[in-house]
Structure 1
Amino acid sequence: MGGCVSISSRSTCSSRSNEETVYPSCFGIDMFGRKRSRKTFSDHITTLQHLSSIPSRIYTNGRSRSSCVFTQQGRKGINQDAMIVWEDFMSEDVIFCGVFDGHGPHGHLVARKVRDTLPVKLMTFLHSFESKMNESSANCCNRNAKSDVVDPEKGILADDKVDLLWREAFLKSYKAMDKELRSHPNLDCFCSGSTAVTIVKQGSNLFMGNIGDSRAILGSKDSNDSLVAIQLTVDLKPNLPREAERIKRCRGRVFALQDEPEVQRVWLPFDDAPGLAMARAFGDFCLKEYGVISIPEFSHRILSDKDKFIVLASDGVWDVLSNEEVVEIVSSASTRSSAARILVESAAREWKTKYPTSKMDDCAVVCLFIDGKMDSESDYDEQGFSSATLQSNHSGNAVESDDGHNPEPCLQRNFTVRSAEENDPNNRIPTDVEANEENVANEDQNWSGLEGVTRVNSLVQLPRFSEERPRP
């Protein structure tokens, strides 16, 4: 978890037939996959103007060639979770997956913005590195066997250099994503943000970047041929000593409320707000000067034949199900295309059983099957999913527009996030998103005879700033 695993060298520069385009693999592996796509980077840039029309990119309930995805709205308001599977990402042998859990007044908009933009930024940086590698291809292919393994200038193993390049691409793309959110003209991320757990699978290589408390796990066979759960990412919460230490060094405060002593939160130095329940996130700029960061924890793993599937999910799943339970549910699903839906439904049942007086959190799941095999089309049709069109699930999720954009309201800071009602001081006509929030709130009143209280909110209360206090 969270550590880098070096890559075993698999190839060196070699001559190919004139009919095959060769991209140098001077650093142990071809950085973008063994199978090269005919699609160029400029083609991707052109297509990215219409992300929702990319056939290999799914971001709503459904399935792809090797995965299934599903999200269900909780009982707190509009669904703030988002997810994506992007196959043929840069090349035919590369898959990008991500789950994003928004929080705060505009968390749903932040999560969707990150879902749409972060993969593009990662692609841009990877393409930049690829161009640099191609420029040095002549020197690479003229080196002797020893120089193919070791960088003569720095003495760095080729495998380690690949790891460093991927690490740098993740770090730069996350940094650029947070910078774009800060300067977004219409989306106020001052007290809104999102987690992100993202993976790039390239052949047997798995690269991961993570901020916040969404999680990725691996279902794998052990020496006894029993399926076990391996946690791939660490939940980056303020209760981790290293995270708490950084926040306190930056004058942020970390403590738990009396009525939830098990939940450590991040607070401003001068106000008992906002009470963020994670140590790293996109957005949340009210806390960025006080120790909350958007730097991802990067890790790299080599997949083996024993590894069967990867599950990415928001904390709505992990709050009620263990890693082992998730692996068991996914492995025992009647069809692979239904695994994500069955997992979310299992989490929903657990919420009602374990926390009957609490409002269920949003849940989002991505199940990626490593062997790339899915069910037959007849099995898929029985599930009633569609990856071609965006649809509402049975819990009443808001329907996104085709381009993935939604109204972006202005932030009203002085209210408690726990409240189910929000005042509209401008008395303007509510947007579709706001109307959906109101419907969900009304529906929630009839949900249970017991008063529903949120078990754990990502934020407790929005800060109140005096007019003379400058905004960070």
Structure 2
Amino acid sequence: MGACCSCHRGGRFDSYLVEEERDHHTGGGGGGGGGEENGDIVLRGDAGARIRLTGSSKYVSMFSQQGRKGVNQDAMTVWENFSGDKDMFFCGVFDGHGPSGHKVARYMRDFLPAKISYLYKQPIVVDIEADEPEDECGNVPEYSRNPLFLSWKARLTKCFHEMDDQLEGDASIESYCSGTTSVCVLKKAEHLIIANLGDSRAVLCTRDENDHLVSEQLTVDLKPNLPGEAHRIRSCEGRVLAMDEEPNVYRIWMPNEDCPGLAMARAFGDFCLKDFGLISTPQVTYRKLTQKDEFVVLATDGIWDALSNDEVVKVVASAGSRSVAAKMVVERAVRTWRYKYPRAKIDDCAVVCLFFKRQRPALTKSVSEVTQLSLNYNGIDARSCTESMKSDDALDTVLNCDVKEGGGDQSNNTNTNNNTEGNRTRKRRPPVKKIEHVGE
């Protein structure tokens, strides 16, 4: 900590003028299905887009709460009528880490959507030979050659790289040992594009063949021990090791120093690790929505460390008003943290819920629609849950710790990610065959 990053000043892309926030720690409930704003922060963005930093609207519920580790390093935003399209939404959550993580998270919250909106209107060069994304079973999805998906993947990847370069050139923010993860979704009609960078998560609520609400995880938690991520990091001379105090938490370490101990494989910032395997390339995926799909939840890992996907979906589905759905998820996560990890400091939490349909008098017809998603904590052994949380409360970054070599084999990890699309270093990028794709 305290080291400086020697870098050139890059070009800056200006976004909207951000007003002073009323409350950095919490996002209020707001006006429910009627779209009342009741103190919400609503700004104007590119092409007249409505920018929300807290609160709710007809299709959106947002809430963030500071944990017990210091300043709230989570940030979130929703752009309605994104880029001037009335049926288009942009949603994003950002989880900062390191001494200036809160500044990095808010920087990306303020500038990333505007840059995406700008690139949305520009011709884009598509890499037709990029590695195709694989699902959990190792299969290549049908959409991987879809021109719409390829153009959005190229735009988002270009945008994330340029934002990382812009952050590196901004001397006002210490980003050498600080950074942020990000998970964003773009919804236009029935198209849902997901861009994931790190270990925040997007989860879809849909209906099964029996019309029961079920959860479907749309992103992979990009941790350093995933085989594809670990291979890339080690090929760049970075180390992937777990400390004795937390054998299940793998971190990235510099080749010859026991720092910074970063618990995710992709992030904005953290330039001390960018030559050693950490990348800012998002994993971009696509989902075509159907009438069975109800809503998507974006949340930082403070939520997912405490609650399962099914539990989050049930809490949102059981909310009597959409305006309080995100707040209910945060409150449930905080209560669960206190039960599961009584000796750990509660993490910051940020939740964005994007609903796909107009609200009915109640989101669920009856309690039976969510009976498949049980919330039963009686069988949890609180003592066993705290073993990996005793030393540093599962911090995202660990500085100046002794780490022993040769720790652990990641081959038994079932949540694999063999996608090597992000093998990008700070030194140079490999040449690609390109075609030009204009518009959608």
Q: TM-score, normalised by structure 2?
A: 0.69
CA shift for structure 1 position 455: 2.1
Q: What residue number does 1:80 align with? A: 73
Q: Which one of the candidate residues 171, 178, 182 is aligned to 1:196?
A: 182
Q: Deviations over 1:159-182 (max 9, x none)?
A: 722211111111011011100011
Q: What residue number does 2:113 align with? A: 119
2:87 matches 1:93? yes
CA shift for structure 1 position 116: 0.8
Q: What residue number does 1:292 align with? A: 278
CA shift for structure 1 position 64: 2.0
Q: What residue number does 2:140 align with? A: none
Structural mapping, 1:102-117, within 5 Å: 102-117=96-111
Q: Which one of the candidate residues 242, 250, 257 is aligned to 2:228?
A: 242
Q: What residue number does 1:185 align with? A: 171
Structural mapping, 1:124-143, within 5 Å: 124-129=118-123
SS in 2 for 1:359: coil
Q: What is the identity percentage for the equivalent residue pairs of Structure 1 and Structure 2?
A: 48
- Contact preservation (8 Å) 2:56, 2:323: yes
Distance of 1:375 and 1:104 partners within structure 2: 44
- Contact preservation (8 Å) 2:176, 2:272: yes
Q: What residue number does 1:166 align with? A: 152
Q: Which one of the candidate residues 258, 270, 273 is aligned to 2:259?
A: 273
2:41 matches 1:48? no
CA distance 1:114–1:342, change in 2 (3 Å): same
Greater helix share, 1 or 2?
1
Unaligned segments of structure 2, at least 5 residues: 1-12, 20-41, 126-142, 363-388, 402-426, 428-440
Q: Which one of the candidate residues 451, 454, 458 is aligned to 2:396?
A: 458
- Contact preservation (8 Å) 2:15, 2:114: no
Q: Deviations over 1:366-422 (max 9, x none)?
A: 01111144889xxxxxxxxxxxxxxxxxxxxxxxxxxxxxxxxxxxxxxxxxxxxxx
Q: TM-score, normalised by structure 1?
A: 0.65
CA shift for structure 1 position 462: 5.7
Distance of 1:186 and 1:304 partners within structure 2: 45
SS in 2 for 1:245: helix
Q: Which one of the candidate residues 323, 332, 346 is aligned to 1:337?
A: 323
Distance of 2:112 and 2:241 partners within structure 1: 31
Aligned residues: 321
Structural mapping, 1:426-437, within 5 Å: none
CA shift for structure 1 position 115: 0.6
CA distance 1:320–1:47, change in 2 (3 Å): closer
SS in 2 for 1:272: coil
Q: What residue number does 2:23 align with? A: none
- Contact preservation (8 Å) 2:222, 2:229: yes
2:55 matches 1:69? no
Q: What residue number does 1:354 align with? A: 340
Distance of 2:162 and 2:256 partners within structure 1: 29
2:147 matches 1:209? no
CA shift for structure 1 position 53: 2.7
- Contact preservation (8 Å) 1:190, 1:283: yes
- Choose 1 or 2 for highest CA Rg: 1
Distance of 1:129 and 1:197 partners within structure 2: 24
Q: What residue number does 1:153 align with? A: none
Structural mapping, 1:142-161, within 5 Å: 160-161=146-147
CA distance 1:50–1:76, change in 2 (3 Å): closer
CA distance 1:46–1:269, change in 2 (3 Å): closer
CA distance 1:194–1:374, change in 2 (3 Å): farther
Q: Which one of the candidate residues 314, 325, 332 is aligned to 1:328?
A: 314
CA distance 1:238–1:452, change in 2 (3 Å): closer
Distance of 1:347 and 1:63 partners within structure 2: 20
Distance of 2:91 and 2:253 partners within structure 1: 31
CA shift for structure 1 position 452: 8.4
Unaligned segments of structure 1, at least 5 residues: 1-44, 133-156, 377-450, 464-471
CA shift for structure 1 position 50: 5.1
Tell me which amino acid in the other structure corresponds to 2:63: F
2:289 matches 1:303? yes
Distance of 1:164 and 1:271 partners within structure 2: 39
CA distance 1:206–1:181, change in 2 (3 Å): same
CA shift for structure 1 position 47: 8.0
- Contact preservation (8 Å) 2:266, 2:279: yes
SS in 2 for 1:371: coil
Distance of 1:454 and 1:353 partners within structure 2: 18
CA shift for structure 1 position 334: 2.2
Structural mapping, 1:405-416, within 5 Å: none
Tell me which amino acid in the other structure corresponds to 2:73: Q
Tell me which amino acid in the other structure corresponds to 1:81: D
Q: Which one of the candidate residues 199, 221, 225 is aligned to 2:211?
A: 225
Distance of 1:98 and 1:127 partners within structure 2: 20
CA shift for structure 1 position 46: 9.8
CA distance 1:244–1:213, change in 2 (3 Å): same
